Structure 1
Amino acid sequence: MFESAIEALLILLDPSRLVFMFIGIAVGLVIGLLPGLGGTVGMSILLPFIFGMDPYTGMALLIGMAAVVHTGDTFPSILLGIPGTSGSQATIMDGYPLAKKGKAATALSAAFFCSMIGGIIGAFTLFLAIPLARPLVMTFGSPELFMMAMLGLSMVGILSGKSALKGIVGGLLGLMLGAIGAAPAVPEYRFVFDSIYLYDGIPLAVLALGLFAFPEMVDLLTKNNSIAQTEELKGSWVEGIKESIKNKWLLFRSSILGSLVGFIPGLGGSVVDWITYGVAKATIRNNEFGNGDIRGVIAPEGANNAKEGGALIPTLLFSIPGSGTTAILLGGLTLLGLQAGPTMVTTDLPVTLSIIWTLVLANIFGAAACIFLSKYIAKLCMIPATKLVPFLLIVLVIGAYQSSRHIGDLIAFIIIGLFGWVMKRLDWPRAPFLIGFVLSISAERYLWISMSRYGFEWLLRPTVIVLVVIIIALVFGGIWLTKTSKKSQETGGISF
């Protein structure tokens, strides 16, 4: 496996692939910089452009973006006190007070350094999971793969948003929309209404762009504010890195915890930063968390990027997307001719290893770029939304039209965009909708194969029973953890 890892690194270091990785890094940093967007929007924007790419180049672009979103989102969290993404909420608790004390550069450098180390640890966790998960994955048949799809759907449906019922309904709506077009197992077309455009179903890129990117653009435009109010960064950049090294065990512990939480489908996101922040607050004596303690920045920032490596384990090896970002990534694998599951640790193992290397390199280059370009990024924060959003909307329209180059792409983009905006205004979670859509085809295919081969006997298979028990346990555990997360957001941390 070591030889395969070296081979994957050499493939990734090809100049043409490095260029696309750097493009992904640049997009990820900008997306993180804009409050409210996040990795799902970034992945939606890039997805249409991977058509025709080889798997290594396409993954370099997508993973390069996803790896650094939680590095770029540090700017609005610390400078404004506004979370760049849902995963940077806890950083505000001490990062923003540090900025008000004239230590913005110190807080930013600590956050960037910890994000880099956390991302590397997350990639290493994914690397270690491959030999451990390979024997398990190889024993899975269609019944087990169907139950794994149900696991991903049920976890995200329950854990998205404040209402479990809304999450479940959103997931079911996604399953229904995914049924449009050709059936995966029999020669039938469903819900096409004599429209040639719908024969192949709604393109994933159009759905993702409309559901996530379009509503965010509308909200940014209506607010009509620049991202930041000042471009001056005070404090010592070196001091932040020194503080991170001084608290190396806190950084390491938070990164490991972030990887473990990221592994559980549906938990990552806004939960991981509050969990690590709460653990740090409860275990560190004589702390001043909430009043500008640098350790309150180190803990959540180390976990944010580490969770990306953990989240890729169920996505790549078990076809379980744990978030909107990994759901789109799962669709990206399909567009590149790959299939998540056993093949990712056998015939497509070099691609998996290249993803790990991309995580490592992207986190290093992303952190370095944030440090060296901070002065310019601070100026970028001053651009009014009225000037920035029209440019982004053009990119979205081009991306949507690239899906099938049919006028139906644009019509579907607008309709789904308006629907996504309504969902957001009514506080309905959109991630379950997207994941239901992504899992609909595979879930239907595996269910059809299982029923045709085994009848109802597959329900009595030991591995299926174990997965059912795991689903029930994780659902009830997830409900408890969601309630705990709500309390932590109200009190500014988790009490243990």
Structure 2
Amino acid sequence: MLEAAWEALLIVLHPSRIGFMFLGIFIGIFVGLLPGLSGTVGMSLLLPFVFGLDPFVGMALLIGMVAVVHTGDTFPSILLGIPGTSGSQATIMDGFPLAKQGQASRAMGASFFCSMVGGVIGGLALYLTIPFARPLISAFSSPELFMLTMLGLSMAGLLAGKSPMKGIISGLLGLLIGSIGSAPAVAEYRYTFGSLYLSNGVSLPVVALAIFAFPIMITMLTNKGAVSNHGPLKRGVLTGVMDALRNKFLVFRSAVIGTLIGFVPGLGGSVVDWIAYGAAQKTVKGNSFGKGDIRGVIAPESANNAKEGGSLVPTLLFGIPGSGTTAILLGGLTLMGLEAGPRMLGADLPVTLSIVWTLVFANIFGALLCMLLIRPISKISMVPGEKIVPFLIVLLVLGAYQSNFSWGDLIVFVAIGLLGYVMTILDWPRPPLLIGFVLALSAERYYWISIERYGWSWISNPLVIALALFIVLLLSGGAIMKKFSKSVESGKGVSS
């Protein structure tokens, strides 16, 4: 294992792969600092460009971006009081009050350092999980893999926030869109309406771009004007780093919480920061959370980057996407000729280990870069949205068109984009739709293979039953954890 890790390190350190990793880091910071964008939008922007790339190069680009999104989202959260992504909501509670007190640099210094430490711990957790996962995943056949796809689909309810039923319906809609084209088990085409373009199904990059990025563009155009009216930033980055070092046990404890939550598909994203914040609030003595306590920044920022390493475990090793970002990552693996599951621990183990190294390096370099760019980036985040949207629209159109080089891609892009915008207006969750779309083909394939090989006897398989029970426990436990995070959030909202 150590020898394989060393070989993967040499691969990652190749100049071309380092260059793509830094490109991903810059894109991740840019996506994070713009309020309203997210890792899902950034991933959907990059996905069309990884088609046919060397897997090591493509993963360097994608993981480099994902690793630092929750580092870059600190800028709008602290400077503007607006969450850059869903994982930076709790940072606002004490980060924004610190900014209003003229201590924004201190808050960002602590945040970036904690993000770096949390990301490294998350990468280490991913590496340590590999030896234990190998014997388990090698025992999985088509029935167990079908149940794992069901586990991924069951995350739709957890990703829906207050309305699990909306999440389930959104996931079913994704399954419906994913079933367009040729059926894997029978020689027929579905929902093509006589269109040759639809006979190959709808392209994943087009769906990802449309469902997430398109609505954001419309929202940024409608919300005109700059948000921030803060004056020049004062110094204090090193003070924030020292604050984090003085609270090293809080940093480590919050990072472990983030990693463990990342292991559970569907929980990460919007709850990890609140759970870490609530745990810190209950355990830190003499705190003044909500009024500008630096420890209220340290806890959520340590957790949200560590979560990324934990969430890659079910994504890469079991093919279970727990969020929109990891769902698109699964699509990226497919575009590069890879498949999540046993191969990631066998023939494609070097790629898996390269992801671990990229995750660690990207968190370190991304945090250091953010510290150096605090002043210039704080100015960029004040640019009105209507001046940024034209540049992003060009990227969206190019990304959608290059999927199949067909005008049909642009038509589907607009159609699904309008669907995504309507879902945004009606407060319907969009990540479950993408998860349903990504898992549609594999769920159907594993189902038919199980029926053909084992009839209906596979239902009594002990591992299948165990996975079914785990799905029930996970959904019920996830509902409890969401209620806990919401109670903390509402409590802080009242106190502030």
CA contact 2:159–2:429 (8 Å) conserved in 1: no
C-alpha distance in structure 2 between counterparts of 1:307 and 1:359, whole Å? 12
C-alpha distance in structure 1 between counterparts of 2:488 and 2:219, whole Å? 27
CA contact 2:181–2:189 (8 Å) conserved in 1: yes
1:296-311 superposed matches below 5 A: 296-311=296-311
C-alpha distance in structure 2 between counterparts of 1:158 and 1:94, whole Å? 27
**C-alpha displacement of 1:162:** 1.4
1:33-432 superposed matches below 5 A: 33-230=33-230, 232-432=232-432
C-alpha distance in structure 1 between counterparts of 2:124 and 2:226, whole Å? 38
C-alpha distance in structure 1 between counterparts of 2:443 and 2:157, whole Å? 15
**C-alpha displacement of 1:234:** 1.6
Q: Give structure 1 regions of 4+ aligned residues with deviation exceeding 3 angstroms.
A: none
CA contact 1:42–1:65 (8 Å) conserved in 2: yes
C-alpha distance in structure 2 between counterparts of 1:157 and 1:16, whole Å? 41
**C-alpha displacement of 1:214:** 0.6
1:9-24 superposed matches below 5 A: 9-24=9-24
**C-alpha displacement of 1:230:** 3.5
Note the alpha carbon deviations across 1:170-215, whole angstroms, 9 max, x for none: 0111001100011123322111111111111110000000000010
C-alpha distance in structure 1 between counterparts of 2:51 and 2:148, whole Å? 28
CA contact 2:159–2:323 (8 Å) conserved in 1: no
Q: Which amino acid in 2 is paired with 1:123? A: G
CA contact 2:109–2:241 (8 Å) conserved in 1: yes
Q: Which amino acid in 2 is paired with 1:211? A: I
**C-alpha displacement of 1:219:** 0.3
C-alpha distance in structure 1 between counterparts of 2:490 and 2:387, whole Å? 35
Structure 2 counterpart of 1:468: 468
Q: Which runs of 5+ in 1 are unaligned?
A: none
C-alpha distance in structure 2 between counterparts of 1:277 and 1:353, whole Å? 31
Q: TM-score, normalised by structure 2?
A: 0.98
Note the alpha carbon deviations across 1:2-29, whole angstroms, 9 max, x for none: 1111111111111111111111111100
Q: Which amino acid in 1 is paired with 2:482? A: T
Q: Which amino acid in 2 is paired with 1:118? A: G
**C-alpha displacement of 1:227:** 4.9
**Alpha carbons of structure 1 residues 60 and 493: separation in structure 2 relative to 1, 3 Å:** farther
**Alpha carbons of structure 1 residues 65 and 470: separation in structure 2 relative to 1, 3 Å:** same
CA contact 1:231–1:382 (8 Å) conserved in 2: no
Q: Which range moves more in the overlay, 345-354 or 187-196? A: 187-196
Q: Which range moves more in the overlay, 423-432 or 191-200? A: 191-200
Structure 1 counterpart of 2:4: 4
CA contact 2:254–2:302 (8 Å) conserved in 1: yes
Structure 2 counterpart of 1:455: 455
Note the alpha carbon deviations across 1:198-251, whole angstroms, 9 max, x for none: 111110000000000010111011001225333621241110000101100000
Q: Verify: 1:441 aligned to 2:444, yes or no.
A: no
Q: Which amino acid in 2 is paired with 1:139? A: A
Q: Which amino acid in 2 is paired with 1:5? A: A
C-alpha distance in structure 1 between counterparts of 2:74 and 2:253, whole Å? 20
CA contact 2:147–2:464 (8 Å) conserved in 1: yes
CA contact 1:315–1:330 (8 Å) conserved in 2: yes
**Alpha carbons of structure 1 residues 494 and 333: separation in structure 2 relative to 1, 3 Å:** farther
CA contact 2:142–2:449 (8 Å) conserved in 1: yes
Q: Which range moves more in the overlay, 119-128 or 219-228? A: 219-228
**C-alpha displacement of 1:485:** 2.2
C-alpha distance in structure 1 between counterparts of 2:185 and 2:335, whole Å? 19
CA contact 1:78–1:104 (8 Å) conserved in 2: yes
C-alpha distance in structure 1 between counterparts of 2:229 and 2:13, whole Å? 39
CA contact 1:226–1:384 (8 Å) conserved in 2: yes
Note the alpha carbon deviations across 1:331-367, whole angstroms, 9 max, x for none: 1100010010011011100000000001011001110
Note the alpha carbon deviations across 1:79-99, whole angstroms, 9 max, x for none: 111100010000001101111
Q: Which amino acid in 2 is paired with 1:27? A: I
What percentage of aligned pairs have identical amino acids? 63
Note the alpha carbon deviations across 1:406-461, whole angstroms, 9 max, x for none: 00011111111110000011000001100000000000000000000001100000
Q: Which range moves more in the overlay, 225-234 or 190-199? A: 225-234
Note the alpha carbon deviations across 1:295-345, whole angstroms, 9 max, x for none: 000000000100000000000001000000000000110001001001101
**C-alpha displacement of 1:491:** 1.2
CA contact 1:258–1:307 (8 Å) conserved in 2: yes
Q: TM-score, normalised by structure 1?
A: 0.98
C-alpha distance in structure 2 between counterparts of 1:206 and 1:155, whole Å? 22
Q: Which amino acid in 2 is paired with 1:409? A: D
- Between Structure 1 and Structure 2, how many residues are aligned? 495
C-alpha distance in structure 2 between counterparts of 1:317 and 1:227, whole Å? 42
C-alpha distance in structure 2 between counterparts of 1:68 and 1:396, whole Å? 21
CA contact 1:226–1:385 (8 Å) conserved in 2: yes
C-alpha distance in structure 2 between counterparts of 1:492 and 1:228, whole Å? 23
Q: Which amino acid in 2 is paired with 1:38? A: S
Note the alpha carbon deviations across 1:33-91, whole angstroms, 9 max, x for none: 01111100000000000012110000001000000000000000001111000100000
C-alpha distance in structure 2 between counterparts of 1:232 and 1:45, whole Å? 32
CA contact 1:40–1:325 (8 Å) conserved in 2: yes
Q: Which amino acid in 1 is paired with 2:134? A: R
CA contact 1:275–1:494 (8 Å) conserved in 2: no
Q: Which amino acid in 2 is paired with 1:468? A: A
Q: Which runs of 5+ in 2 are unaligned?
A: none
Note the alpha carbon deviations across 1:455-478, whole angstroms, 9 max, x for none: 110000010010011001111111
Q: Which amino acid in 2 is paired with 1:61? A: L
C-alpha distance in structure 2 between counterparts of 1:28 and 1:471, whole Å? 32
C-alpha distance in structure 2 between counterparts of 1:420 and 1:55, whole Å? 30
Give the 3-state SS of the residue equivalent to 1:332 in structure 2.
helix
Note the alpha carbon deviations across 1:113-158, whole angstroms, 9 max, x for none: 0000000000000000000111100000000000011011112334
